[in-house]
Amino acid sequence: MICGVSARTRQSAMLATVFALSLIALGVLWMTGVDPVLAHCDTMAGPVIADAQKALAAKDVTPVLKWVKLEDEPVIKETFRKTLAARTGSKEAGEVADAHFFETLVRIHRAGEGEPFTGIKPATAVDPGLEMADQALEKGDADEVSTELSNGMAEKIHHLYTRALETQRHKDESVEAGRAFVKAYVAYIHFVERVHAMVAETGDAHGTEPEVHGH
């Protein structure tokens, strides 16, 4: 016991704090405009391609314009027009035109986000965590994703904390024991540091305030 507080009490308080931090972090992501779908916008299952398919089906480019900056609209509109024209020909020509439109849209979108374009990924390339975030938006309920991430965060920090605490007790017994403590300590504090940085982060995914397009 240290300063009248038992180890069990400190541990319970730590887990409660971790739980609260992870919930706050999720709230920061939603409230500051950090879009969890940006990281898989280059997959066939991503929202950019989904909107592109809707636009082609409706013969209306409007649904995809939100994914590009205002100055990039002319290129997207012209590519869209050519794609619709190609679709009036053979099935093969239409498929080639669709693929070119998808690639152009995603490439320009990612360039606007400061990210490289490495091609359209298959639907199976979507990260499970991102898929879970998308499903929460579709359901209109973040409780499930909040609970799962909060529990996972708490378990991870508790594991790292426990390892650091155990090795700390033996760190002066030998050089090897000291190194084991340093390894565990660094892993623990760096993980907590990343969680704290996420909570304190403001603006969008690139550290700037979300841009409001003119459309």
Specify whether the CB–CB gap between 56 and 84 falls below 8 A. Answer: yes
Residue 43 DSSP class: B
3-class DSSP state of 213: coil
Residue 2 DSSP class: B
- How large is the C-alpha radius of gyration of the chain? 24
d(CA 13, CA 95): 58
pLDDT for position 49:
92
Q: What angle is formed at CA 10 by the lines to CA 8 and CA 13, rounded to 5 degrees?
A: 110
pLDDT for position 124:
65
* Domain edges within the chain: 15-36+140-200, 44-125
pLDDT digits (tens, 9 = 90+) for 105-147: 999 999 998 888 988 888 665 566 667 777 778 788 888 878 8
pLDDT for position 42:
81
pLDDT for position 5:
43
pLDDT for position 215:
38
Q: Look up tokens 């779908």; give the residue.
A: 37
pLDDT for position 194:
86
**Rounded mean pLDDT for each run of 10 residues along the chain, 215 residues in total:** 47 48 44 44 85 96 93 96 96 95 94 88 67 78 81 89 94 90 90 83 49 40
| 126 contact partners, CB below 8 Å, separation of at least 6 | 40, 43, 45, 46
Average pLDDT, the chain: 77
